[in-house]
A and B are shown apart, each in its own frame.
Chain A
């Protein structure tokens, strides 16, 4: 079993739809959770991060973490064509002081149709 599993894609939705992206993980040592967004021909960029179980909102985006069930989700409300990108979940562990190790999901490609 991989440490991080991400729902496969691709995913295509109409503009204005609510999008739910999900990841599960097996390593209970993960301490922080992130979502990265990667546009075509670009590097991933951090979208949201959280350390604890529960919901965190940022505009149209909500990150949800359930440590007891070992899953995280990203919800996108009122999706826009500009949200079309690949979304990667990532989970991290602190080790040896200030160093951290991030493990990424494989990513899901989202297309929002106008």
Chain B
């Protein structure tokens, strides 16, 4: 158990709809990362938040947005869904506090939310 909790585990919806995926990071972790995993693209970085602030953006579509709340949980919102958005969405967290000596860079992943768009 990584300590990262993601809900829901499975989600089936229709094209054009909007969904929200939720992530609770490991206790004490300040950074949350969202990744999308598909068979053809592999694990693609979407966005990172650190202590409530957006820190980095990857290949995130404009139809997608995310936020991190004061209690450090994060939500990924996916709107105007298309068939091609069907994928596994992972949240990961890391202890990205300013530690002396530097952290290892390890990410702790949740079990993912499997989104199917019909």
List residues of chain A with CB under 8 Å of any chain B CB.
6, 32, 34, 41-46, 49, 88, 92, 94-107
Contact = CB atoms under 8 A, between A and B. Distances in A.
B33 to A, nearest CB: 8
B103 interface: yes
A74 B75 CA distance: 34
10 contacts: A44-B43, A44-B107, A45-B109, A94-B102, A99-B48, A100-B96, A100-B103, A100-B105, A102-B105, A104-B43
A9 to B, nearest CB: 12
Contacts of B110: 43
Contacts of A88: 42-43
Contacts of B4: 43
Contacts of B103: 98, 100
A97 B109 contact: no
A99 B107 contact: no
Most buried by A among B35, B55, B106: B106
Contacts of B92: 43
A88 B45 CA distance: 14
Nearest to B48: A99
Interface of B: 2, 4, 31, 33, 35, 41-45, 48, 50, 55-56, 90, 92, 94, 96-99, 102-112
A95 B106 CA distance: 15
A102 B59 CA distance: 13
- Going nearest first, the 6 A-B pairs with the smallest beta carbon separation are A43-B109, A106-B42, A104-B43, A100-B105, A92-B105, A46-B106
Contacts of A98: 96-99, 102-103
B2 A101 contact: no
Contacts of A106: 41-43
A64 B111 CA distance: 28
Contacts of B90: 43-44
A84 B41 CA distance: 21
**Most chain A CB inside 10 Å of its own CB: which residue of B33, B55, B103:** B55
Contacts of B56: 95, 99, 101
A105 B109 contact: no
